[in-house]
Chains A and B, each alone.
Chain A
Amino acid sequence: MSAPVKLNVNGLPVEVPAGASVAAAVAQLTLQFRRSVSAEQRAPLCGMGVCFECRVQVNGVTHVRACMTPVSEGMQVITDA
């Protein structure tokens, strides 16, 4: 297995296996991915890019589906953005 990937979620370091999703990296720390229009905390539902509940900010780009985005070294992820 290749070396784990180190990234940053809400300013905290996280390590996940290569090929893991941003969703998996966020879930190491929190299940609060986004805030709904009535301020409920939400987390991934469908796991396959359909429901958009897992949206986070990745390297400054908002509304990125965490379940469909592979992690990369040094990535900066912000939840509830």
Chain B
Amino acid sequence: MPDRYDVLVVGAGPAGLAAARTAAAHGARVGLLDAQPRPGGQVWRHDVRRKAPRAARDAIGKLQGVDVLASHSVVAIESSALRVETPQGGQLVAYGSLILATGARELLLPFPGWTLPGVTGAGGLQALTKQGWPVAGKRVVIAGSGPLLLAAADTLRKHGAHVLGIYEQAPAASVHAFAGQLRHWPARAAQAIGLRLRLAAVPYHFGSFVRRAHGSDTVQRVDIDTPTGTQTVECDLLGVGYGLVPNTELAQLLGCTMDYPGPHPHVGVDRLLRTSVGSVYAAGEAGGIGGLAVARLEGVMAGHVATGHSMAAHALLPQRDRERRFGTLLARHFALHPRLHTLADKDTLVCRCEDVTLGELEGFSDARAAKLATRCGMGACQGRICGTALAELGRFPRSGARPPIFPARLATLAGLTTLPSDDAYRGS
């Protein structure tokens, strides 16, 4: 039997949690769905060994009147409804208004050795660690760009890892200029100082990036370019991520207009977070990388607007605009150096699902043509990793989203409400 919500929120991170809570407080019937098994999103991901921050506990704990639909992956859209897949089977969830709080993922760039087990994203390694990934006593290199590297290193150390160093691609002058601007955002400054103090024993290198990872079965050492030459560092784990890109696949499937401030799209919204599609709103990172404070404010705003309380949303605009400026500052000071576009050589796998090298993609200027000829982007991740990387590298933009936006079982697509296991198909 299809469920119908007045307001359906996709993504249970800070933006989605705030949106759901706000809409419910206005008396709406609210559903909050997320592909992950627990609410919190990436920044408030549950840590098996540590207590959640107070803001996360508050946001997750105060969801009265909200149906939390965990482990629900959206795979397709229907008329004012989403086709979702759960471990139990497929389902149709209908809505009056839809709030997209789909967050962001890490920008992962190909380099020789990046497919070795033990090489992960930086935020990726943090996420894995929070869920019990064994890191105690392991030698870890954290690299890439942005403040997330510090947060990842902090989590790793709290779980007993030996973090050998943090390698930031942005030059020292740029990072110091960023730190100087933090005084305009006192809460963020306090957070940054706390992180730096906790990481005082971890060297923080600037203008440095991982050029190559070596190892047989798993990563064993990495070559790092620094302003003073190449260093080789022996390690057990390498976490490398180049910042964040918005998750826009569902918005694209819905036909929402995208904005392209650079190579990666974000959902286009007006001052009240309305997308180009009626009754569809976008809050937080989906509408452009802005960070936690933006996500929480825009979540509240979207919850107001989706229930017809635009004035309350308007009142939050000055605060929201101020926090959005922080995102602009981040993007400027941690802009990726063009030399990162040349890390992959012709033998480096770019598409990890179909094992397509950069060399095989020579001569293609369009994602679809490349896919038809090489299978690049045709695998399970549907180009989320390689398509985003190729867009960043200036090869060609990622092609638009088509259903299903995540791999789904045929039973889900056929609209069945119960899902037989694979054993049933094998007749065992």
- A45 in contact with B108 given A52-B380, A55-B380, A59-B421 (CB within 8 Å): yes
Interchain CA distance A42-B49 in the complex, whole Å: 27
Query: Which secondary structure characterizes the binding site on chain B?
Result: loop
Query: Which secondary structure characterizes the binding site on chain A?
Result: loop
B307 within 8 A of A: no
Measured between beta carbons, the chain A residues less than 8 angstroms from B105 are 46, 48, 50
In the complex, are the beta carbons of B385 and A70 less than 8 A apart? no
In the complex, are the beta carbons of B48 and A17 less than 8 A apart? yes
Interchain CA distance A42-B113 in the complex, whole Å: 12
Question: B166-183: contact bitstring with A at CB < 8 Å (1 yes, 0 no)?
Answer: 000000000000000000
Interchain CA distance A55-B380 in the complex, whole Å: 10
Interchain CA distance A37-B347 in the complex, whole Å: 16
In the complex, are the beta carbons of A17 and B128 less than 8 A apart? no
In the complex, are the beta carbons of B124 and A44 less than 8 A apart? yes
In the complex, are the beta carbons of A23 and B131 less than 8 A apart? yes
Measured between beta carbons, the chain A residues less than 8 angstroms from B137 are none
In the complex, are the beta carbons of B353 and A52 less than 8 A apart? yes
Interchain CA distance A21-B45 in the complex, whole Å: 12
- Which of B15-23, B115-123, B270-278, B291-299 sits within the interface? B115-123
Measured between beta carbons, the chain B residues less than 8 angstroms from A1 are 49
Measured between beta carbons, the chain A residues less than 8 angstroms from B362 are none
Contacts A21-B131, A24-B133 aside, 17 further interface pairs with beta carbons under 8 A come to A19-B131, A21-B132, A25-B132, A27-B134, A31-B217, A32-B117, A33-B117, A42-B117, A44-B120, A45-B120, A45-B121, A45-B124, A46-B121, A47-B120, A47-B121, A52-B381, A68-B36
Top 3 closest pairs, chain A to chain B, by CB = A20-B132, A24-B132, A43-B117
